[in-house]
Structure formats: C-alpha cells, structure tokens
Amino acid sequence: MKRLILAAFLLGGMLTGCTNKEQNKTEENMTTMNLTQEWDKVFPLSEKVNHKKVTFETQYGLTLAADLYTPINTPDGGKFAALAVSGPFGATKEQSSGLYAMRMAERGFVALAFDPSYTGESSGEPRRTASPDINTEDFMAAVDFLSKLENVDPERIGIIGICGWGGIALNAAAADTRIKATVASTMYDMTRVSGNGYFDSEDKEESRHAAREAMAKQRLTDPMAMAGGVIDPLPDDAPQFVKDYFDYYKTERGYHKRSGNSNDGWRVIGTQAFANSRFLYYTNEIRSAVLVMHGEKAHSRYFGEAAYHYMVEGKAEGYNTVGKPNPNPENKQLLIIPGASHCDLYDGGYTELKGKGEPKNLIPWDKLATFFNENLK
C-alpha cells in the first residue's frame, strides 16, 4: 500500500528585489537549467497576479526552480508579507503548490511555489531523491530568497506545506525562527508513515527490520529503481484514497509530466532516511503561529490531528516521545474541513478549473489569508 500512494514572464526585465549579481546568477541558472518558458500549470493563470520564474540556491549547493506570484497592486509602504509553498510530496510547482501560491498572491501576498531538491525543474542528481534534512533546508533557503526581495518585509514571512510537505513545513518552523506563521494542509508525516506504515500498521521492530534489510539489498541490486507514483491502471478494489489520488494525478485535473506522483514515483532508496527520522520531535517548541488544516474524510487526518496535539500538548497518540506543553498554545489552530477528502485540499476539489464538473471549493482561501494577515503583522 505504501507504493500507491498564457505565457509566463521568464526573463522579461529585472527580477524585482534582486541585486545585479543575484539577477545575473538567476538568469544564468535559468538558462543552464533550461526551464520551461510557456505556462504549463494544471490551473489557469489569474489575471489578478504577476508571475515569473526564479531560481535560488540552498546551502547544499543545489539550485531550486520556483514560480514567484506577486499581487498587481503594491501595498501602502511598498512591502509585502511573503509565503513559501511546496508539496505534495512527489508533486511539482505546476500542481497544488502553484495554485496555493497564486491564490494567496490574489489576496495580497508575495508567494513562492518551488520544486524541491532533486524534483521537477530543480537541480540534483539522482532525480526524485528526498531527505529530511535537505528538504527542510529547501524551505529555509526559500525564506532566504524571499527575505532578500526589495518588495518583501523579511519580518513577515510564512510557509505552506501540503501533504508530505506539511510535516516538512512543521520541521522547518521548529528550526527557523524567521518563519512567523505556518500552514500544514492535508499533511502527511513522511517520517511516521515511512517507519510505521499507514495507520501505524507496521509499528513494530520486526517490520522495520525487514524493511531495512530490503533497503540494504536494494542499494546493491538496483539503487536507481523507482517506485511509488499512483497505480495505473486503477484496480476495482482500490481503497477510496487511492482512487482519489488517481483522480488528481492521473487525469486532466492534476496530471503533470514532471510529477513523480503522476508518473513513476521516486527512488526506492531515495527516501530511506525518512524511516529512521522523526520530523515533529521539537514542534512542541514552535512559538510562532501554526494552522493545521485537514479534511474531515481524509484517510490522512490522523497525521494532522496527532501533529497538532503533540505541538500543543507535547504528547499525542502514535508518538512514543513526550515533551513539555507548548509555550505559545494560543496561536495554534486545528481546522477540519467538513466533507473534504485528502485530495480535495490539493485544489479545493475543483473540476471547474478545467471548465467541467460541478463547481466546489473546499479550501478556505480567505481563512488562510486571515490567518497569515493576523500573524504576519
């Protein structure tokens, strides 16, 4: 079950807020990386925002590709609050994270949707490799980039992590005090599911040992083997959440050619370190604001609820560690969206983005904007 899981403005002028040296580096990266210049997102470009592609560096020497969405109107004082967005795990910025960034830009934020290291248009070999440390750094490097933009207030930066990047976002918020507000949407704790299996069904030493032995053999037999992605064709008896993944990643609604989830997944051993790590160990010490948002009907809801309770209380079902209660519980929120499944919070359940189906929008965009406006003052 684990394995189931308009044109863009590219180089049209100065990159707002960058020094000449940074601009030249960005343009060099964009040329070298051969980034796609045409609009190839799974959603249409809003007329309420400006858009351009940018790149930035991480401390590991990797170059990340991103889409920068900016409100058309400049706020009084000339400085915006800003957001960095990524996820779901195995997806690209052309999918859910780009939609979140664009919708938040419509509401007055500079928003950066980035491809993680080794993923999409970002650099890193071998492709589709993941790391608790490197991926946490991806978020912090995005904060570095936003902090240096001339039209951004570096004291008013938040992040949004979707699905597997929800847990990574919480880990980044625990590590980096520059992050003043965090939203974890329809989150997975990738370390928990990697070590314990879905619904903690493999939370025993014997299962973990067998998985470790299999990984050890894989490293010698075929270290480049890929797995995951959404199963296709879809079995008739597939669980509903697998059907939901298929409906997003394998249809016109959300399919993208660079998305691992839409295609062949990620490297089998490329996620090995997740199973022996725990993202949320110090999240009970996050002093900044956090909103955990999950669907009422999501199979993954237990991740979000446990993460919230551990963050506030220092303990939660499914966690074998106990810490002190959070020193700032008053700015932590748990929001359960009635009727929503896991993938409904990828795009709001929109099929109307493609001009078909019954319109619905289960993502409370204005609620997210209010949360960030209140906590990025």
Calculate the CA 27 to chain-centre distance.
25
Query: 4 pLDDT exceeds 60?
Result: no
Does residue 24 carry a pLDDT above 80? no
Tell me the Cα Rg of the chain.
20
Measured from the Cβ of residue 302, the count of other Cβ atoms closer than 10 Å reads 18
* 61 DSSP 8-state letter: S
State the pLDDT at residue 14: 27
Average the pLDDT over 226-235 and give the result.
91
Q: Is pLDDT above 70 for 31?
A: no
Query: Is the pLDDT reported for residue 21 higher than 60?
Result: no
| DSSP 8-state class, residue 184 | E
The predicted model gives 85-93 an average pLDDT of 97
> pLDDT value at position 12?
27
How sure is the predictor about 77, in pLDDT bands with cuts at 50, 70 and 90?
confident
Confidence of residue 150 (pLDDT cuts 50, 70, 90): very high
- pLDDT of 268 strictly over 80: yes
**Token pair listed for 218:** 């894989």
Residue type, 366: D
Q: 266-267 and 152-162: which strand pairing?
A: unpaired
Q: Give the C-alpha separation, 50 to 99, whole Å.
A: 14
Interatomic CA distance for residues 95 and 307, integer angstroms: 25
For position 34, what pLDDT does the model report? Answer: 84
Give the three-class secondary structure for 107.
coil
Average the pLDDT over each of 5-9, 219-223, 250-254, 276-280 and give the range with the smallest value: 5-9
Burial class (CB in 10 A: 0-12, 13-18, 19+), 137: buried
What pLDDT sits at residue 359?
54
CA distance 33 to 49: 25
Stretch 145-165: mean pLDDT, rounded? 98
Nearest alpha carbon to residue 234 among 250, 221, 220, 222: 250
pLDDT at 169 over 70: yes
How would DSSP label each residue in 210-226?
Answer: HHHHHHHHHHHH-TT-E
Residue 376 φ/ψ, nearest 5 degrees: -120, 50
Task: State the pLDDT confidence band at 17, using cuts at 50, 70 and 90.
Answer: very low
Please report, for residues 7, 42, 70, 298, the alpha-carbon distance to residue 47 in angstroms, rounded to integers and kept in the order given. 12, 16, 11, 32
For 323-373, give the secondary structure using H, E and C: CCCCCCHHHEEEEEECCCCCCHHHHCCCCHHHCCCCCCCCCCHHHHHHHHH
Which is nearest to 93 in space by CA: 133, 126, 58, 122?
A: 122
Coil vs helix vs strand at 120: coil
Q: Does the pLDDT of residue 317 top 50, yes or no?
A: yes
Percent of the chain scoring above 90 in pLDDT: 82
Model confidence at 25, pLDDT cuts 50, 70, 90, reads low
pLDDT attached to residue 41: 97
Closest CA to 183 of 244, 97, 302: 97
Q: Which of residues 352 and 266 earns the better pLDDT score? A: 266
Confidence of residue 11 (pLDDT cuts 50, 70, 90): very low
Residue 270 exposed, middle or buried by CB count within 10 Å (0-12, 13-18, 19+): buried
Instruction: Give tens-digit pLDDT for 329-361.
Output: 999 999 999 999 999 999 998 654 555 555 578
Average confidence score pLDDT of the chain: 90
User: Of 26-40, 79-93, 173-187, which gets the smallest average pLDDT?
Assistant: 26-40
Other beta carbons within 10 angstroms of residue 333's beta carbon come to 15
* Residues 206-233, mean pLDDT to the nearest whole number: 95
pLDDT top residue among 28 and 369? 369
Strand ranges (DSSP E) for 193-299? Answer: 226-227, 266-267, 289-295
Helices 164-175 + 132-147 axis angle, to 10: 70
Query: Is residue 30 pLDDT above 80, yes or no?
Result: no
CA dist., res. 282 & res. 299, Å (int)? 25
**For residues 68-79, average pLDDT:** 89
Question: Cα dist. 308→162, 272, 303, 373 in Å?
Answer: 15, 25, 9, 21
Confidence of residue 202 (pLDDT cuts 50, 70, 90): very high
